């Protein structure tokens, strides 16, 4: 693993700091959104007596998997390219000893284990992994039948519970989108993880991201978001938000795109998603993009299998400490990060075991948890921040640019009468339940001096009524 000197820190800044692995570590102790290049955009009038809770009062969990793709063990092919980019001054991992492939049998084993526990998250598919081959063309070293079967496995087993993201095109050498080939020069200036995006405009970034998305579209893998490799776009952060929105909209016509770039792995800073560039909220085509933040580093096995992970950093054996405990107790979305290469760990599956133990411990400690895809968490947060609300004597008026399932609000009052949701001519009765663990869409519960309502929030106007 690379330990940057002061000169290198100054030379590459924080973007470079993270480039050794993936995603950008937010400047510790400097939680301001400005540091993350955030532009919130519009916010509607909201009644502060209306508290939007986590969906069904359950803390969202999610698992971000980076560096995954079909068949190719990214490290085996990426590390020699990283070494060439850095003139062989760094990246001396023993890549020749690493297997070429992360087999579909392991994808199946992992996917089924997670499926049985309704675990959800994001699974990258690097579209042109380390320049080995475009997944929508051919993958040298594997037969077309093997590639097709691998793509089919992702479509059938992973897609239902996992957002698919490009990361970006190759995760190594930048591609000239006019020719489809990597640029001839191998240097940080033309590498996705480092400085290729420096000074790029929104249009240039959107062109590059769209190129990656189109490859996945060609192989029948829909995307609602993207993941940045290493320090990608670290010096053009506001542009990244806009370009992500444009590219995902253009290629997949997605209503509410999201992107993953930032990690806040310690400290009090909020790890809640950032809802950005909100505009035209009361128009037919509202705009917003959501920045999803991971709240842990990769403590499973690491991108290059250089350590064997540490489950206690997620949650300790006594279930009392660890980053996941901290964030779950705060009630914020607790999103773990890993690299597929470390989960497989060259066949030893070290990262997979660390993850399995972390999951076991979290469910042993906490009752009200809910695994969600990043797109589901993004949608809920957009609804939470962008829905106008006005509380009256016996009704709550809502106007939502984005619909959200199991929208959950706490309202003042001990004794609501026959709570029901009016959506145009339709009326949906809410059923009373005894506790938070029973809460689901179209139910409500008493909560001391307050009451909690949970319902599928429609797009546009709706009204929660609770008087005679």
Residues of this chain that interact with Zn ion (CB under 5 A) are: 22, 66-67, 229
From the CB of 78, what's the least distance to Zn ion, in Å?
9
From the CB of 204, what's the least distance to Zn ion, in Å?
21
Which lies closer to Zn ion via its Cβ, residue 133 or residue 229? 229
Q: Which of 145, 154, 40, 66 is nearest to 106 (CA)?
A: 154
Which lies closer to Zn ion via its Cβ, residue 130 or residue 281? 130
Which lies closer to Zn ion via its Cβ, residue 338 or residue 430? 338
Residues contacting 354, CB < 8 A, separation 6+: 299, 300, 301, 309, 310, 311, 314
Nearest residue to Zn ion, by Cβ distance, number only:
22
Are 452 and 408 in contact, with CB atoms under 8 Å apart?
Answer: yes
From the CB of 74, what's the least distance to Zn ion, in Å?
8
Are 19 and 231 in contact, with CB atoms under 8 Å apart?
Answer: yes
Q: Which of 204, 260, 206 is nearest to 230 (CA)?
A: 260
Which lies closer to Zn ion via its Cβ, residue 67 or residue 465? 67
User: Which residue is it, tokens 């829905």?
Assistant: 387
Report residue 235 as tokens: 């010096």
Which lies closer to Zn ion via its Cβ, residue 73 or residue 370? 73
From the CB of 67, what's the least distance to Zn ion, in Å?
4
Q: Which of 463, 430, 461 is nearest to 445 (CA)?
A: 430
From the CB of 82, what's the least distance to Zn ion, in Å?
12
From the CB of 341, what's the least distance to Zn ion, in Å?
9
CB atoms inside a 10 Å sphere around CB 134 = 18
- What backbone torsions phi and psi does residue 353 show, to the nearest 5 degrees? -65, -40
Are 151 and 221 in contact, with CB atoms under 8 Å apart?
Answer: yes
CB atoms inside a 10 Å sphere around CB 105 = 9
User: Which residue is it, tokens 């950008």?
Assistant: 24
From the CB of 57, what's the least distance to Zn ion, in Å?
34
> Taking the alpha carbons of 88, 94, 100, 103 in that order, is the dihedral positive or negative?
negative
Q: Which of 204, 254, 199, 201 is nearest to 226 (CA)?
A: 254
Report residue 231 as tokens: 């320090």
Report residue 329 as tokens: 């107790």
From the CB of 171, what's the least distance to Zn ion, in Å?
6
Which lies closer to Zn ion via its Cβ, residue 215 or residue 288? 215
From the CB of 340, what's the least distance to Zn ion, in Å?
9
Which lies closer to Zn ion via its Cβ, residue 64 or residue 315? 64
Which lies closer to Zn ion via its Cβ, residue 57 or residue 67? 67
Which lies closer to Zn ion via its Cβ, residue 244 or residue 387? 244
Please give the C-alpha separations between residue 96 and each of 66, 77, 161, 188, 301, in angstroms, as whole numbers: 22, 9, 34, 23, 19
């Amino acid at each position: 693993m690379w330990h940057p000197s002061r000169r290198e820190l100054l030379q590459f800044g924080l973007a470079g700091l993270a480039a050794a692995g993936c995603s950008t570590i937010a400047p510790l102790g400097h939680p301001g959104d400005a540091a993350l290049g955030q532009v919130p955009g519009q916010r509607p009038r909201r009644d502060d007596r209306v508290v939007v809770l986590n969906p069904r009062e359950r803390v969202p969990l999610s698992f971000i998997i980076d560096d995954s793709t079909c068949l190719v063990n990214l490290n085996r092919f990426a590390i020699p390219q990283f070494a060439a980019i850095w003139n062989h001054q760094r990246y001396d991992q023993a890549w020749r000893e690493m297997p070429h492939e992360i087999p579909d049998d392991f994808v199946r084993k992992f996917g089924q284990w997670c499926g049985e526990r309704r675990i959800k998250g994001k699974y990258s598919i690097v579209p042109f992994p380390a320049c080995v081959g475009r997944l929508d063309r051919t993958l040298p070293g594997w037969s077309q039948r093997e590639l097709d079967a691998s793509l089919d496995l992702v479509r059938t087993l992973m897609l239902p519970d996992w957002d698919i993201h490009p990361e970006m095109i190759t995760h190594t050498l930048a591609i000239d989108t006019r020719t489809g080939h990597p640029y001839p020069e191998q240097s940080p200036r033309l590498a996705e993880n480092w400085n290729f995006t420096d000074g790029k405009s929104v249009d240039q970034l959107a062109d590059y991201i769209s190129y990656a998305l189109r490859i996945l579209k060609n192989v029948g893998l829909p995307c609602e978001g993207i993941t940045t490799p290493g320090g990608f776009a670290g010096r053009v952060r506001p542009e990244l938000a806009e370009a992500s929105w444009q590219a995902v909209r253009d290629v997949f016509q997605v209503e509410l795109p999201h992107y993953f770039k930032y990690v806040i792995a310690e400290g009090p800073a909020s790890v809640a998603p950032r809802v950005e560039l909100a505009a035209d909220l009361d128009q037919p085509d509202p705009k917003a993009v959501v920045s999803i933040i991971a709240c842990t580093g990769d403590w499973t096995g690491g991108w290059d299998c250089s350590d064997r992970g540490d489950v206690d950093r997620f949650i300790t054996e006594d279930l009392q400490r660890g980053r996941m405990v901290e964030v779950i107790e705060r009630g914020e979305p607790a999103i773990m990060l890993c690299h597929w290469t470390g989960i497989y760990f060259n066949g030893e599956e070290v990262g997979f075991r660390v993850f399995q133990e972390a999951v076991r411990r979290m469910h042993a400690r906490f009752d009200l948890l809910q695994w969600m895809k990043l797109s589901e968490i993004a949608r809920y947060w957009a609804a939470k921040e962008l829905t106008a609300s006005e509380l009256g004597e016996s009704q709550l008026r809502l106007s939502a640019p984005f619909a959200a399932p199991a929208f959950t609000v706490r309202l003042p009052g001990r004794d609501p009468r026959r709570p029901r949701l009016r959506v145009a001519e339709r009326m949906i009765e809410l059923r009373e339940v005894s506790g938070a663990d029973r809460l689901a869409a179209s139910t409500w519960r008493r909560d001391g001096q307050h009451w909690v309502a949970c319902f599928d929030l429609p797009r546009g106007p709706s009204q929660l009524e609770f008087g005679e």
